[in-house]
Amino acid sequence: MDFKGVLVKIFGRDREIVLCAAGTAVALLGLGLVYKYNVRRPEKKFTRVGVVTQLLLHPMKSGKAVLVETAECLRMGLKYGQLRDRHWLVITEDGHMVTARQQPRLVLVSLSCEDGQLCLSGPQMEELRVPLQQSSNAVVDCRVFSRDVQGRDCGDEVSNWLTRYLESDKTVRLVHYEPHLKAQRPSEKDPLFPEDEKVAYPDAAPIMLMSEASVRDLNTRLDKDVTVFQFRPSIVVSDCEAFTEDTWDHIQIGQVELKRVVGCGRCVLTTVDPETGIITRKEPLDTLKAYRLTDPKQKTAPILGQYYIVKKTGVLHVGEPVYKISY
C-alpha cells in the first residue's frame, strides 16, 4: 500500500487522532513563530538624554535659517509647509554649486514660500516674488562637491536678483530640487551611508543634530562667542552634557527615529558670521581643530554635531524629549 493509502486508512480508522496531531503541529509552529519574532527580538530600552530646543530649516543651501516650532521629519530632511531643507541651490552657469565658502553674504539671504510664490529678501535689496512652480523652466545638471544632482531652474528674474546681490562678475542661478529629479547618494562619498539613502543639496546627511552644551563648551575657549546658527544644524538639543550627542547612535523624538552615521566634520563655512556675512577663515575653526579632531573617518576635520539618517518619519516639536534607544 502506498503512503497515500496508509493515510487514508488511518484517517478513516481514527479521525480524531489525525486531527489532534495536525492541531498540535500547527500550535507548535505558532509557538515557534512567536518565539522567533518576540522572545528572540531584543527589547528596546529608552533613556531620556535631552530635549529639543530648536528646529531649523535652511531652504537654500548657505542661506538664512528658518526657525520653526514644528516640522515634518522626512527621509530627505525637514519640511515646513512648502519649505524643504536644502532644496534650493545657487549655481554657476555651468552647474557648479555656489555656497558661503565662496560668497559669504549668502548667509543673509532669506528664502520663503507664500501663496504659491517663491520669495527672496536680503540686505539693501527689494523683495523678489516669483511663481514657485515653473514647470516649463529647464532642468539643470548640477554638482554638489563631486556628486551629480539635478534641479529645476528658478528663472531669469531670480538669477538677476542673486547676481546683483552678490555683486558677482559672473552670472549665478538658483535651482530647486523636485522629487522626480536625480538626487545625491551620500554613499558615493562615504560608504557608511546606506546605498538607498538620498538627499537633495546637503553636504552629506538629511539631518544634523547638535547640543547647546557643545557650543557653550566651545565658547569657553573663544574670545568671541558663537551661536548654533554658525553651524547650521537641523535639530538643537539641550539638557545634556557637551558632546554627549557623539554617543547617541539611535534616538527617538516623538514618533521619529534617527540613526547616527558619522560625526559632522567642520570646514571654513563655520567662520562665516551669520549676522554679518563676514568670513574670517580662522575662528571658531582653528580652536575646534585644537581639541575636536575626534573622528578618524573625518581625517583633518574637527567634529561638532552628528549626521543622522531618518529611520522612521514623523512630526517633530520643540520641547519634545530625546530618547536614546538601546537593546
Mean pLDDT by 10 residues, the chain (327 residues): 50 52 53 56 91 98 98 98 98 97 98 96 97 95 94 98 96 97 94 95 97 98 97 98 98 98 96 97 97 84 97 98 97
Question: Tell me, what CATH number does 153's domain have?
Answer: 2.40.33.20
| Res 299: pLDDT | 72
Number of other residues whose CB lies within 10 A of the CB of residue 57: 23
Q: What per-residue confidence (pLDDT) applies to 30? A: 56
For residue 194, being part of any structural domain is answered with yes
On whether residue 306 sits in a domain, the answer given is: yes
| Position 41 in a domain | no
Give domain status of residue 16, yes or no.
Answer: no
- 40 assigned to some structural domain: no
Map the chain to HEC letters: CCHHHHHHHHHHHCHHHHHHHHHHHHHHHHHHHHHHHHHCCCCCEEEEEEEEEEEEECCECCCCCEEECEEEEECCEEEECCEECCCEEEEECCCEECCCCCCHHHHHCEEEEECCEEEEECCCCCCEEEECCCCCCCEEEEEECCEEEEEEECCHHHHHHHHHHHCCCCCEEEEECCCCCCCECHHHCCCCCCCCCCECCCCCCCEEEEEHHHHHHHHCCCCCCCCHHHHCCCEEEECCCCCHHHHCCEEEECCEEEEEEEEEECCHHHHECCCCCCECCCCCHHHHHHHCCCCHHHCCCCEEEEEEEEEECEEEECCCEEEEEEC
Determine the pLDDT at residue 212.
Answer: 98
Is 156 within the bounds of a domain?
yes
pTM of the model: 0.87
Task: Look up the domain containing 139 and give its range.
Answer: 46-326
The number of distinct structural domains making up the chain is: 1
Specify if 289 maps to a domain: yes
According to the model, what pLDDT value does residue 300 have? 81
In a domain, 112, yes or no: yes
Could you tell me if 306 and 206 are in contact, meaning their C-beta atoms sit under 8 angstroms apart?
no
Compute, in degrees rounded to 10, the torsion defined by CA atoms 271, 274, 279, 285.
Answer: 0
Cell numbers linked to 249: 547612535
